[in-house]
Amino acid sequence: MATTAPTGSPPSPPSLTHPPPPRKLTSVKALSESPGLSSIPSIYTFPEQPNHEPVSDTKEPIPTIDFSLLISSNPDERSKTIRELGKACRDWGFFMVTNHGVPERMMKAMIEVCREFFELTEEEKGESEGKHVLDPIRYGTSFNPSLDKILYWRDYLKIFQHPAFHSPSNPPSFSAIALEYSKRTRGVMKEIVRGISESLGLEDKYIEKASSLENCLQIMVANLYPPCPQPELAMGLAAHTDHGLLTLLIQNDTVGLQVLHKDKWVNIHPIPNSFLVNIGDHIDILSNGKYKSVLHRAVVNDRDVRISIALAHGPAADVAVNPAPMLLEDGQNPLAYPAIKYKEYVELQQSSKLDGKSYLEHIRNRGI
Ligand code: OGA
Ligand code: NI
């Protein structure tokens, strides 16, 4: 906004130390509720029409792991499940986990309380607006609006939940529900990480120790994808891989997640009440690339609101994980992964813009 300086007083010079405040953006929720919205603003329009890429209609379902067998006291059941888990990590990098013991009502309550958060007024949600990517509570839209040339059809709330638990104060019930859910999810994550460790031929606690899992950085990302009048032109979230060891995702009953499998995008239809689990960049590093963090993205639709809640579990903030030496074959060099603390990795990845590649590839090329 241009203002005229009163005569005599020179215009104040631009501040050199403070970047201009980021432009205020409307949430996609508010935009989608504008009366009579029948087309989307050009800032949300992807020229290459990402949703028109071929999507595999393969009926090959993503693998399912029965958690109750993974923690079974019957050694045969357990080792068979660990073999299945290893295969799922190698072939897909994504799998569903059933019989995990987290009550259905708790998962539903978590989704509902996130819905309530997004339904607060813009002013109320604005209280949770983060200024920096490592702020423990951060409400926003798109991925990185100051860098995204085209905005994503998505609002989000990101919260650090472990080792220190944070919560917005509104809705009032958020804190109690999220605290319980985050604890239960960590319990499931820990058992899967043990199974993954064994499936790699490592001691069951290898990854746990190498990543100081008792202090794991657990970040909740609640995503809201409102109905979009031109879903074929918009994108919910561009292709990316997740930082950390494992992400556990739940959603309301609206589909939208696509996973890259054998060079094709596959629509994921999760079994109700299951967790959708994926390998993150730090298992990729620890396994020396044996288990890859896989590209995935979110597409939108013109009918239903979609809510997904991803809990990313990383090593402790100050740990820099390395490839496990015993996974290197004779004479093989470790892949050139940067030795970088988890917190710094998160900061770099979250401050960048999504470019359709794994962030690992990105920083490997930059040779950090
Ligand atoms: C994420 C993510 C996918 C989805 O939050 O990292 O990949 O389905 N979300 O919302
Ligand atoms: Ni993701």
Of 43-57, 289-303, 346-360, the least confident: 43-57
Q: State which residues form the domain around 138.
A: 53-364
Any domain includes 287: yes
pLDDT band at 10 (very low <50, low <70, confident <90, very high): very low
330 C-alpha vs ligand 1 centroid, how far in Å?
A: 38
Domain with residue 68: its CATH number is: 2.60.120.330
Residue 41 domain flag = no
CA distance 225 to 346: 23
Does residue 184 belong to any structural domain of this protein? yes
- Look up the pTM and report it: 0.91
On whether residue 6 sits in a domain, the answer given is no
Is-contact 205 197, C-beta < 8 A? yes
Instruction: Please choose from 133, 154, 158, 221 the residue to mutate so as to test ligand 1's pocket, defined by most ligand atoms within 8 A of CB.
Output: 221
Q: Is residue 4 part of a domain?
A: no
Pocket-testing residue among 220, 225, 308, ligand 1, by greatest number of atoms within 8 A of Cβ:
308
Domain total in the chain: 1
Sheet holding 306-316, edge to edge: 64-66, 94-98, 275-279, 246-251, 306-316, 216-225, 155-162, 137-141
Tokens of 190: 């820990």
* 207 assigned to some structural domain: yes
The dihedral formed by the CA atoms of 317, 319, 320 and 325, expressed in degrees to the nearest 10: -140
Q: Does the Cβ of 237 fall within 6 Å of ligand 1?
A: yes
Decide if 36 is inside a domain. no
Q: How far apart are CA 175 and CA 196, in angstroms?
A: 31
Residues 258-293 have pLDDT tens digits of: 999 998 899 999 999 999 999 999 999 999 999 999
Structural domain contains residue 15: no
Kindly calculate the radius of gyration of the chain based on its CA atoms and give it in whole angstroms.
21
Ligand 2 centroid–CA 74 distance in Å is 34
